[in-house]
Amino acid sequence: MGSGRTLDSFVTAVDRALRSVFATAQASRPAPVPAGDPPAALSESERRTSAALMRINHSGELAAQALYHGQAAVARSAATRELLVAAARGESDHLAWCETRLKELGARPSLLNPLWYLGSFAIGAATALLGDRASLGFVAETERQVEGHLDEHLGRLPPADTRSRAILEVMRAEEISHGATAVAAGGVPLPAPVPALMRHTARVMTGTAYWV
């Protein structure tokens, strides 16, 4: 990688980080809406539960963007880089939907989002150094674990919160698609300790983001 490419990658990475963490997320598509009757009003307890879960999902989408940005910054092939950037673009829609829903619920994102972004970017870049196939395998494993988190959250959402449910259901379907695309592009399974470390890191983030 030449010095010009290195500088361009660094500037692009900084720009993406600042936009992701500090700018209002912009969606390229409208947020999913529930079918049928207008959503019922939530009790205060239900609102707090939904807000906490959507804060976790917002942080998770930010972390996923950071992972893919980190991987794209050091990807070896242009094709892999474009796939990672496209996946991050999809996560940007998810991020914006979660951010909008948080505002509707009268809640804020996690105060630790800059930390989640920086840590995830570093993990993504380190993974990409193992090669494009390992990097794509990391995408597939990330999306598989996100699918599990979304399944859990769909089970914990108050039944009356059909608005949040509609968003999470579309997110879940698209995360599965991202993972399948990464496998089809040549992603390989990761060594067993890596998924375990990913799950542990995710537990720390989700447990903290629920409250902070």
pLDDT one-digit tens code per residue, 78-124: 999 988 888 888 888 999 999 999 999 999 999 999 998 898 898 88
From CA 116, how far away is CA 67, in angstroms rounded? 10
**Mean pLDDT of the residues in the chain:** 87
Nearest to 198 by CA among 149, 129, 131, 133: 149
The whole-angstrom separation of Cα 121 and Cα 31 is 26
Q: Please give the pLDDT value at position 26.
A: 82
More confident residue, 78 or 23: 78
The residue written with tokens 């930390």 in the block is: 115
b (16+ CB within 10 A) / e for 36-51: eeebeebeeebbebbb
Domains annotated on the chain, with CATH: 41-209 (1.20.1260.10)
Q: What is the pLDDT of residue 146?
A: 92
Give residue 156's Cα distance to chain centre: 19
pLDDT surpasses 90 at 127: no
More confident: 134 or 8 = 134
Cβ neighbour number for residue 145 with a 10 Å cutoff: 18
- In this prediction, residues 169-182 reach a mean pLDDT of 93
Residue 203: pLDDT band (50, 70, 90) is: confident
165 band by pLDDT with thresholds 50, 70 and 90: very high
Local confidence band at 6 (pLDDT 50, 70, 90 cut-offs): low
